[in-house]
């Protein structure tokens, strides 16, 4: 039986994270695995249709988002007793960053929700789907209720 040694839990700070977190915690406990957490702050330019797509990305807003995300990630880490050196707060595309960090940190299981903010209309959310297709390691998409 595969014994997972390093689990990467991807959190998007939506309510349903709780279900995903609980599953990752269970698995980390069963396998006595190291648990790391990742959150990715999307840095796609903030575009308002009224500006015809020319509105520049605000650096201040980006920094503010990063600070909020950091506080939330630390809060979850504290509850789960995950040390700071196992936290990954990245910027860019969640799809790419989750896979990249997993490879760099020799993760052998990625845990994501079946959908989050992007996936309510899909059977499998877009992030989950992309991670599932591109990760080199196992991926667990924790089934979440539709709403």
Residues lying near ligand AMP in the complex (CB under 6 A): 10-12, 20, 38-40, 94, 112-113, 115-119, 125-128
Our CB check for ligand AMP shows the closer of 70 and 117 to be: 117
The minimum distance between CB 117 and ligand AMP, in angstroms, equals: 6
The minimum distance between CB 129 and ligand AMP, in angstroms, equals: 6
Q: What is the Cα–Cα distance from 112 to 105, expressed in whole angstroms?
A: 17
Our CB check for ligand AMP shows the closer of 34 and 114 to be: 114
Q: What is the Cα–Cα distance from 117 to 9, expressed in whole angstroms?
A: 16
The minimum distance between CB 4 and ligand AMP, in angstroms, equals: 17
Does residue 28 contact residue 130 with C-beta atoms inside 8 Å? no
The minimum distance between CB 54 and ligand AMP, in angstroms, equals: 25
Our CB check for ligand AMP shows the closer of 19 and 50 to be: 19
94-104 and 126-134 helices, crossing angle to 10°: 40
The 3 state secondary structure assigned to 20-64 is HHHHHHHHHHHHCCEEEEEEEECCCCCCCHHHCCCCCCCHHHHHH
Our CB check for ligand AMP shows the closer of 20 and 33 to be: 20
């Amino acid at each position: 039986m595969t014994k997972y040694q390093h689990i990467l839990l991807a959190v998007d700070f939506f309510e349903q994270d709780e279900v995903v977190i609980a599953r990752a915690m269970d698995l980390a406990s069963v396998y006595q695995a190291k648990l790391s957490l990742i959150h990715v702050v999307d840095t796609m330019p903030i575009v308002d249709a009224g500006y015809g797509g020319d509105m520049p990305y605000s650096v201040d807003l980006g920094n503010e988002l990063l600070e909020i995300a950091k506080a939330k990630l630390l809060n979850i880490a504290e509850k789960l007793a995950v040390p700071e050196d196992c936290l990954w707060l990245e910027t860019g595309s969640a799809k790419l960053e989750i896979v990249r960090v997993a490879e760099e940190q020799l993760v052998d299981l990625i845990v994501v929700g079946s959908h989050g903010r992007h996936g309510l209309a899909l059977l499998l959310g877009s992030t989950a789907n992309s991670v599932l297709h591109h990760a080199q390691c196992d991926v667990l998409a924790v089934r979440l209720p539709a709403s």
